[in-house]
């Protein structure tokens, strides 16, 4: 049944009808659609826009339709135009003319944006729960590795020694921001649009605040034109999801590198690895690679909706139907990636001895050697040049800085003395940076304490 058939003298072309239909994907909004319709029907009855008896039978029948869909007794018809048409047609089929009164005072334009706002709020809540779980996993690992020393990198070249805990807590900060970003997005999504009509609201004496309260929204949308044509909340949601995926992808890239034989920093569990069809020795980090690959898929969803919206005049345009598949797919992808990543990370074995040996190489203590000279009164630029020449000398001799005997150090600068050796041990290098946000164990423990408080505040 078409909700708009009275204006037309012929049936819609079959191919055009299939092209136009959205029920194949928007049927996942059936709960949100029926929930919104129940609140709308109750309001219509309360306001005497329709009789209380009509409102009661509409509500009871909608509740039964929801139950029938949930238990499989009612199968959504893929030939329907959309989920809204299907539900209304089923309602009319069951109760006749009373069902025809449900759509009084609303349009599919404000109905669909209501459904999407409810959906996005619910997805944000679910994704935030997954992020909170990942934050807990990261914190647990960080607490276990406050003394595990590893090389830090810039340009993928060894730079300075850090602890594994400090490295993991960097990702904790990223996902903490992701959590906060989603919560901010939820606040702007939490606006109730029903009552905006097609674009110009309605002449019926509806009670929007009643519907807002019934559906658990915080505020009402303030402009009917904006309400039906706004998809900013979808774009913001997709943007937040894209940043989450970027963070997951960066972490996966490091895990892929760390699992390679050249690093051998970690062993990814067999549960989250695959093999080769031809090379029997292979163990591939496919879960991490898939997450890295799916990041582009979520970016694509964001670009899809941004591009779709950029040239649309007010108010609703059919182009906006394209928001749903992008939002649905991105939300599904992010949830799957968070679940798999969390499981993979919790089962990783860290090779602490290899990390430590790697931190000893690459002259990661060179900056501390320069700082030692500065503390002896040498200007930093001069100290930088001296240590640069010292590193070049050590490279030529194929030794580390601390393996150079004192007499050879003095050939570079007579300021060097025995105290340098302790100053440039990797343990000293790490623990000398005892400032807030630094690598020292005491600073990292303080960061862990703050992270624990955050998770307590999130009631985990």
d(CA 255, CA 266): 8
Same-domain status, 267 and 401: no
Identify whether 155 is part of a domain: no
Identify whether 154 is part of a domain: no
Q: What is the CA radius of gyration of the chain?
A: 30
SS3 375: helix
Identify whether 135 is part of a domain: yes
d(CA 397, CA 424): 18
Residues catalogued as catalytic = 155, 276
Decide which of 352, 384, 415 is a domain's last residue.
352
SS3 307: helix
pLDDT at 458: 85
d(CA 1, CA 15): 17
Question: Helices 323-346 and 108-144 sit at what angle, rounded to 10 degrees?
Answer: 10
Same-domain status, 405 and 302: no
Query: What are phi and psi for residue 399, nearest 5 degrees?
Result: -135, 165
pLDDT at 5: 60
d(CA 446, CA 419): 29
d(CA 126, CA 293): 23
Q: Which residue has the tokens 């049936």?
A: 11
Q: What is the domain range of residue 376? A: 361-457
Identify whether 156 is part of a domain: no
Decide which of 334, 352, 370 is a domain's last residue.
352
Same-domain status, 261 and 371: no
**Residue 431's domain is classified under what CATH number?**
1.10.40.30
Same-domain status, 177 and 250: yes
3-state secondary structure 186-233: HHHHCEECCCCCCCCCCCCCCCHHHHHHHHCCCEECCCHHHHHHCCHH
Identify whether 421 is part of a domain: yes
pLDDT at 384: 97
Same-domain status, 95 and 135: no
Same-domain status, 271 and 329: yes
Burial class for 278, CB neighbours closer than 10 Å (0-12, 13-18, 19+): exposed
Cα angle: 53, vertex 54, 58; to 5 degrees: 120
d(CA 222, CA 114): 14
List the structure tokens of 94. Answer: 């069951």
d(CA 183, CA 188): 9
Same-domain status, 68 and 183: no
Decide which of 331, 352, 373 is a domain's last residue.
352
Identify whether 3 is part of a domain: no
Nearest CA-CA partner of 95 in 67, 54, 49: 54
Quick check: 185 and 171 in contact, CB under 8 A? no
User: In 76-231, which ranges are continuous DSSP H helix?
Assistant: 83-95, 108-144, 164-189, 208-215, 224-229
What's the domain count of the chain? 3
23 torsion bin: left (phi>0), alpha (psi -120 to 50), beta (else): alpha
Nearest CA-CA partner of 136 in 173, 177, 172: 172
Q: What are the C-alpha distances in Å from 175 to residues 180, 248, 305?
A: 9, 9, 24
Same-domain status, 170 and 78: no
Same-domain status, 94 and 175: no
Q: Which residue has the tokens 């501390």?
A: 368
d(CA 318, CA 82): 13
Reported for 28-32, long-range contacts at CB under 8 A and 24+ positions apart, including other chains, are 28/328, 29/83, 29/115, 29/116, 29/119, 29/324, 30/66, 30/69, 30/76, 30/83, 30/87, 31/66, 32/114, 32/115, 32/116, 32/118, 32/119, 32/122
| Range list of β-strands (E), 324-426 | 349-350
Identify whether 446 is part of a domain: yes
Positive or negative: CA dihedral 186, 320, 300, 294: positive
**Residue 61's domain is classified under what CATH number?**
1.10.275.10
Q: Please name every residue paired with 8 in a beta bridge, in sequence order, or none if there are none.
A: none
Same-domain status, 173 and 126: yes
Same-domain status, 178 and 244: yes
Q: Please name every residue paired with 151 in a beta bridge, in sequence order, or none if there are none.
A: 161
Q: What is the DSSP letter of 274?
A: B
Identify whether 158 is part of a domain: no
Same-domain status, 292 and 333: yes
pTM: 0.94
Please give the chain's pLDDT, 460 residues, in tens. Answer: 566 566 666 677 777 767 768 999 999 999 999 999 999 999 999 999 999 999 999 999 999 999 999 999 999 999 999 999 999 999 999 999 999 999 999 999 999 999 999 999 999 999 999 999 999 999 999 999 999 999 999 999 999 999 999 999 999 999 999 999 999 999 999 999 999 999 999 999 999 999 999 999 999 999 999 999 999 999 999 999 999 999 999 999 999 999 999 999 999 999 999 999 999 999 999 999 999 999 999 999 999 999 999 999 999 999 999 999 999 999 999 999 999 999 999 999 999 999 999 999 999 999 999 999 999 999 999 999 999 999 999 999 999 999 999 999 999 999 999 999 999 999 999 999 999 999 999 999 999 999 999 999 987 5
**Residue 235's domain is classified under what CATH number?**
1.20.200.10
């Amino acid at each position: 049944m078409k909700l708009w058939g009275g204006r037309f003298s012929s049936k819609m072309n079959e191919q055009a009808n299939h092209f136009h239909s959205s029920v194949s994907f928007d049927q996942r909004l059936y709960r949100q659609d029926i929930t919104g319709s129940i609140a709308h029907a109750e309001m219509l009855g309360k306001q005497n826009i329709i009789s209380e008896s009509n409102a009661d039978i509409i509500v009871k029948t909608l509740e039964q339709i929801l139950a029938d869909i949930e238990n499989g007794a009612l199968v959504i018809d893929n030939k329907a135009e959309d989920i809204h048409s299907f539900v209304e047609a089923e309602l009319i089929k069951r109760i006749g003319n009373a069902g025809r009164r449900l759509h009084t005072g609303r349009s599919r334009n404000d109905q669909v944006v209501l459904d999407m706002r409810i959906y996005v709020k619910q997805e944000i809540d679910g994704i935030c729960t997954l992020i909170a779980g990942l934050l807990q996993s990261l914190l647990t690992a960080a607490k276990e590795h406050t003394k595990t020393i590893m090389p830090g990198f810039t340009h993928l070249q060894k730079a300075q020694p850090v602890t594994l805990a400090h490295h993991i807590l960097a990702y904790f900060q990223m996902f903490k921001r992701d959590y906060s970003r989603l919560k901010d997005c939820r606040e702007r999504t939490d606006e109730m649009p029903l009552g905006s009509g097609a674009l110009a609201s309605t002449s019926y004496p509806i009670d929007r605040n009643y519907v807002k309260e019934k559906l658990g929204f915080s505020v009402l949308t303030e402009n009917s034109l904006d309400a039906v044509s706004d998809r900013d909340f979808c774009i913001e949601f997709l943007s937040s999801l894209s940043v989450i995926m970027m963070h997951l992808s960066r972490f996966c890239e490091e895990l892929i590198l760390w699992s390679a034989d050249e690093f051998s920093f970690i062993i990814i569990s067999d549960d989250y690895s695959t093999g080769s069809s031809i090379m029997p020795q292979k163990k591939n980090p496919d879960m991490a690679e898939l997450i890295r690959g799916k990041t582009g898929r979520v970016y694509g969803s964001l670009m899809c909706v941004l591009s779709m919206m950029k040239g649309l005049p007010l108010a609703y345009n059919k182009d906006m139907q394209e928001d749903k598949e992008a939002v649905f797919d991105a939300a599904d992808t992010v949830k799957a990636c968070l679940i798999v990543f969390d499981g993979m990370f919790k089962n990783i074995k860290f090779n602490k001895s290899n990390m430590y040996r790697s931190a000893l190489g690459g002259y990661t203590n060179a900056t501390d050697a320069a700082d030692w000279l500065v503390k002896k009164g040498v200007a930093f630029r001069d100290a930088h040049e001296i240590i640069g020449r010292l590193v070049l000398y050590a490279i030529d001799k194929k030794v580390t800085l601390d393996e150079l005997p004192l007499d050879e150090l003095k050939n570079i600068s007579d300021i060097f003395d025995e105290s340098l050796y302790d100053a440039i041990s990797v343990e000293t290098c790490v623990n000398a940076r005892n400032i807030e946000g630094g690598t020292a164990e005491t600073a990292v423990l303080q960061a862990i304490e703050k992270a624990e408080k955050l998770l307590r505040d999130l009631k985990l």
